[in-house]
Amino acid sequence: MNILIAEDYAPTRLLLETLLTAWGYTVTTAVDGEEAWRVLCEPEHPHMDILDWMMPGIDGLEIVRRLRKREPEKQYYAIIITSRSDIEAATDALNSGADDFVEKPYDKNELRARVAVGFRMNSLQMALSEHIRDLRQTLARVNQLEGIIPICMYCKKIRDDQDSWQQLEKYITEHSEAQFSHGICPHCAEEQMKLIRNIS
């Protein structure tokens, strides 16, 4: 997972980058809020962000607000880090849309645990998004079989969207996950037996 670190104080930024890299994460760094926002506007941007609250240009809370407003359904896990330790600060951070709040100076073991929680949350959200996409694709296939389907009254072929005719089972197989096993109904079996007796 790629994690964005947005921190204007170089020693803190370097420490965070060193820790996260040692823990096995890929890291992208930004020296201020403006650079962080540019990174997050790129197509392949990180979905987990560690943002300093107070930064030149755009602060961490404003970045989180913009993310939630721009893509409310996308998975972002945002951790705000700050030297403020009062309850009001934590409330403001979480109300802005942040997922977690870490006070400076932070304990590295606590930080590692919080980042791991974010990693699990993002993994679950990505899996859920994939399931939703699969369900939508399934629903689209089902919808293709709804409504009026032109069928020949003699040979029972189906006219498809390209205005060509094909066997009923071929049409259904292409537009759903249904599979066919062929057999003979009692009526047709009786008719076939009559034909065989007449021939012999």
Would you say how long the chain is, in residues? 200
Whether residue 134 is predicted with pLDDT greater than 70 in this model: the reply is: yes
Structure tokens at 19: 């820790």
pLDDT-based confidence at residue 30 (cuts at 50, 70, 90):
very high
SS3 34: helix
- Sketch the domain layout of the chain as residue ranges: 2-138, 147-199
Q: Which CATH superfamily is domain 2-138 in?
A: Response regulator (3.40.50.2300)
What whole-number distance in Å separates Cα of residue 150 and Cα of residue 70? 44
Q: How many CA atoms lie within 13 A of 145 on its CB side?
A: 15
Q: Which tens digits make up the pLDDT trace of 147-198? A: 667 888 888 888 877 788 888 778 777 777 777 777 788 888 788 888 888 8
What beta strand segments (E) does 53-164 contain? 77-82, 100-103, 158-159
CB proximity list for 20: less than 8 A, separation 6 or greater? 3, 5, 27, 50, 115
Place of tokens 């609250």: 53
Structure tokens at 37: 């926002």
Integer Rg of the chain from CA: 30
Q: Which tens digits make up the pLDDT trace of 41-79? A: 998 889 899 999 999 889 999 999 998 888 766 778 999
**Burial bucket for residue 26 (CB in 10 Å: 0-12, 13-18, 19+):** exposed
Strand duo 77-82 + 100-103: pairing: parallel
